[in-house]
Amino acid sequence: MDSEEFVAQHFDQLPGKPKLICHQFRIHGGTLDFLAQYPNGDFLIVEVKTGIISEYGWIQLLRYCGALLEHLRLLGDSRPVKGLLIGKSLDERATFIFKALPRKIYQFLPLTELGWEE
């Protein structure tokens, strides 16, 4: 089983208990691994990486969040979009980026916290 399939099977363990809306959701900015929604209505984009995450993992997640925000804006929807990056760990540059991001909007979750074993 790959890491994305594993996360799909353990989606109910994600922080904040988001409800899965779609797997592999296509938007103008690319294809999201998962689109979910928190009980309060906020959207959540979940991006899953197999190994150690580089700075490009954050760039991809931020691009997806921006694209979804724009899509929602065109529909007259102003609900917030949050992002969750899941993977083995963050490399040094990705860690620096994470330190600069607001935790209420962007989070990192190690796969091991969902029970992933290599």
What is the reported pLDDT for 67? 96
- Given a contact cutoff of 8 angstroms between Cβ atoms, the answer to whether 103 and 15 are in contact is no
The pLDDT-based confidence of 9 (bands split at 50, 70, 90) is very high
Rounded CA separation 63/98 (Å):
15
Class of domain 3-112: alpha beta
pLDDT beyond 90 at 14? yes
Over residues 2-23, mean pLDDT? 95
What is the reported pLDDT for 29? 84
Alpha-carbon separation of residue 48 from 2, 5, 31, 74, 79 (angstroms): 10, 10, 12, 27, 23
pLDDT tens for 97-106 read 999 999 899 9
pLDDT beyond 90 at 82? yes
- Given a contact cutoff of 8 angstroms between Cβ atoms, the answer to whether 65 and 103 are in contact is no
Domain ranges of the chain: 3-112
- Given a contact cutoff of 8 angstroms between Cβ atoms, the answer to whether 84 and 60 are in contact is no
